[in-house]
Amino acid sequence: MASPLERIPLHLRAGSILPLGPVLQSTAEATGEVIDLYIVPGRDGAFDLYEDNGLDYAYEKGGSSVIRLTWDDKRSLLRLAARRGRFDGMLKTRRFRLHRVGPGQPPLQSPSRQELVYVGHGTEVRLA
């Protein structure tokens, strides 16, 4: 596939889970907007989504959280484990847009999209 100079090609391995958020100049600008999760089918995969407040060194004393994401390819199932940890200013709910990326399809133009509101408890979503 041709790639113009103004667009960098992105190669994703089967089973990848790629989180993308809004473009920020600084972590101080983070508003907790939606996070897009791009899932590449073809094999099982996993990713740990790490967050902290991004403003100080509280993470050095445990001020952070992790959400384990796993992709079950045979069942087309994305699992989000219960959130581990906490930090000051942490959002109680997190909105995710889920995109299943197809072969040869530009990931950021993925038509396959579902939304999920995550409240910190384990949950699973079947992607069409």
**pLDDT on residue 88:** 92
On whether the 17-126 domain is CATH 3.40.50.300, my answer is no
pLDDT, one tens digit for every residue, the chain (128 residues): 666 777 777 788 999 999 998 887 777 777 777 899 999 999 999 999 999 988 899 999 999 999 999 999 999 999 999 999 999 989 999 999 999 987 766 656 655 579 999 999 999 999 97
Phi, psi of 109 (to 5 degrees): -115, 25
Q: Which of 7, 27, 24, 33 is nearest to 108 (CA)?
A: 7
**pLDDT on residue 1:** 60
Q: Judge contact between 46 and 17, C-beta under 8 A.
A: yes
**pLDDT on residue 54:** 87
Concatenating the DSSP letter of every residue in 52-113 gives --SSSSGGGGTBEEEEEEEEETTTTEEEEPPPEEE-TT--S-EEEEEEEPPTTS-GGG---E
